[in-house]
Structure 1
Amino acid sequence: MIILINGSFASGKTTTAELLVQHLYHSMLYDPEIVGAGLAAIVKPIETVTDFQDLTAWRPLVVETARVLKQVYGRTLIIPMTLWHRPYFEEITDGLRQIDPHFYHFCLTARKETLLSRLAQRQQEHTEQALIWIQERFDRCLAAFASPGYAVQIPTDEKRPEEIVEEILTQINSSFL
């Protein structure tokens, strides 16, 4: 099984993914941001972008890394990732579905005010430059994630992370009935 936890910055993706790993036996966290950071460092002399998702090799590497992780470790992959650009989203989700037909996509949503408040609480985790970069992308993310193509959407404004995890587990379990 592969579970993609998508959503805007500060929507709770990583927290949700970490909790899911604790609740799902034989699962592991796979963060494609690590792939992006490593790839950006490797190709810096050749290809420079402001967002590693725009690197030519990043999307195929995300899928191939997932394939290798599934093949070698045979575990459920839980993937937190802000993936709002529709062509990138489709390329990656199509690739993940080919790896495992038990593919689930959940998009965590929240009002802009909620996201900005959460981000402000986490300011010490980010550089000022990173915070500006994230804020510049909020509106694009919110607009994209409001579309039906990013279903199943889970509003997180008034929910604790444990409630979000319970909702995801309920939806996954109901698909096996």
Structure 2
Amino acid sequence: MIIWLNGAFGAGKTTVAGELCRRLPAARLFDPERVGAVLRRVRPVPTGDYQDLPAWRRWTVRLTWLAARGGRPVVVPMTVWRPDHRAALLGGLRERGLAVRQVVLRVPPSVLRDRIDADRVEAAARDWRHAHLDRTVAGLAGCEPGTIEVTHHGRAPGEVAAEIVARLDLNRPTSKRRS
């Protein structure tokens, strides 16, 4: 199963992904931003957003599929606000026979702005994130049917991860789990 952890910048995807991997010891973490970083080095990104490169979407699908081989869950923390990009990614994974569940972390925009300002790890991306925040929040407002929405404001990341595990029914034995 692929758990695509989506949400606006500052929603806490990376932190919650770490908590999910702690609660699901067999899970692997896959970060598509690494694919984007490699592509930025080898080709121009005219729009400034590597997600606009078809190669990024193709390689993300391929590498996520590889990470999922062997039946282990894969947690993918990545903001994908454009519906056409989500369709290419999530649909591409499903076409490869993988069960994919999208979880969107919801946080009020004012809190997102504060979190972006406070982020010391991704400080270099601060201006870009602020410039794209409103568009990202709007793009995630109407996600696909079956998307699980979880509030991640005023709650500890472990509590959010526990809710995700419960809502995805991931504590049942694999042989009885429906994908």
Same fold (TM over 0.5): yes
Moved over 6 A (4+): none
Map 1:25-174 to 2 at 5 A. Answer: 25-44=25-44, 48-71=46-69, 74-123=71-120, 125-127=122-124, 130-149=125-144, 151-173=147-169
By how many angstroms is 1:56 displaced? Answer: 2.5
CA distance in 2, matches of 1:70, 1:125: 27
Give yes or no for contact 2:4–2:102 (8 Å, CA) kept in 1.
Answer: yes
Give yes or no for contact 2:2–2:68 (8 Å, CA) kept in 1.
Answer: no
Give yes or no for contact 2:7–2:79 (8 Å, CA) kept in 1.
Answer: yes
Gap change, CA 1:163 and 1:59, over 3 Å in 2 = same
Which AA in structure 1 matches 2:89? I
Give yes or no for contact 1:3–1:105 (8 Å, CA) kept in 2.
Answer: yes
Equivalent residue of 1:149, what SS? coil
- Match in the other structure for 1:19: 19
Aligned residues with identical type, % of pairs: 30
By how many angstroms is 1:125 displaced? Answer: 3.5
CA distance in 1, matches of 2:96, 2:78: 18
Give yes or no for contact 2:116–2:129 (8 Å, CA) kept in 1.
Answer: no
CA distance in 2, matches of 1:70, 1:124: 27
Which structure shows the higher helix fraction? 1
Q: CA RMSD in A?
A: 2.0
CA distance in 2, matches of 1:2, 1:125: 25
By how many angstroms is 1:91 displaced? Answer: 0.6
Q: Structure 2: which 5+ residue stretches go unaligned?
A: none
Equivalent residue of 1:168, what SS? helix
By how many angstroms is 1:126 displaced? Answer: 1.3
Equivalent residue of 1:146, what SS? coil
Give yes or no for contact 2:102–2:148 (8 Å, CA) kept in 1.
Answer: yes
By how many angstroms is 1:87 displaced? Answer: 0.3
TM-score normalised per structure 2? 0.87
Give yes or no for contact 1:40–1:48 (8 Å, CA) kept in 2.
Answer: no
Give yes or no for contact 1:5–1:108 (8 Å, CA) kept in 2.
Answer: yes
Give yes or no for contact 1:109–1:145 (8 Å, CA) kept in 2.
Answer: no
Give yes or no for contact 1:2–1:100 (8 Å, CA) kept in 2.
Answer: no
